[in-house]
Amino acid sequence: MGEEQLMSGRQWLCTSAASLCIISCIVSLFTIAFIAVNRYLYVCWHNVYHTVFSRRHTVIAVVLTWLVGVALDSPNHLGWSSHWFDNKTQKCMWNRTTAYHYTILFVVVGMLIPFVITVICYWRIFAHIRLVKQRILRTQLQARVGIVHSFRLRAVSIDILVYTKFISSRLTFF
């Protein structure tokens, strides 16, 4: 079915689908970054964790992630860019070729910032665990304890892998 037959008189459908996709993708990326900050504070700054992640602050953060998603899609409805049917991917999305500046804003704010936050948080967790591990090993050596327990960073590496895969799959659109 060609674009003309599929979208004939149904631009509202394409606009709605594209908006839902854009907003949900942005919210997903910011939620992953939010989880990374949560884990970072829990592991590295446990004393302030319950203050920062109170019920009220968590609700505010969740609402803010949705507001960021809506804010990043709103230029498509306000004339800066637009939604359209992309023949290359066979999806309704924003028109990347209409407004280059919007595309840059979308990639930097919607993808790069959450990616950098996630990588920094997990790197800091890794460094913290490594430091604690060295302290434990030093203490065990001083006490001449023979069994050394190693830390597993599987959750951190899986999260970074999933996030990197998600970003790399989105980069094919450019």
Q: How many helices (H) and strands (E) does the chain have?
A: 7, 2
- pTM to 2 decimal places: 0.71
Task: Pick the closest to residue 30 from 22, 18, 41 (CA basis).
Answer: 22
Please state which of the ranges 30-44, 72-86, 89-103, 139-153 shows the lowest mean pLDDT: 139-153
**Tens-place pLDDT, residues 84-109:** 677 676 777 766 667 778 888 888 99
pLDDT at residue 146 greater than cutoff 50: no
Provide mean pLDDT across the span 118-125. Answer: 96
Q: What confidence score (pLDDT) does residue 156 get?
A: 65
Q: Is pLDDT of 54 > 60?
A: yes
Domain 3-171, second-level architecture: Up-down Bundle (1.20)
Q: Which of 114, 94, 121, 112 is nearest to 27 (CA)?
A: 114
CA distances from 154 to 76, 102, 137 (A): 39, 36, 21
Going by pLDDT thresholds of 50, 70 and 90, the confidence category of residue 74 is confident
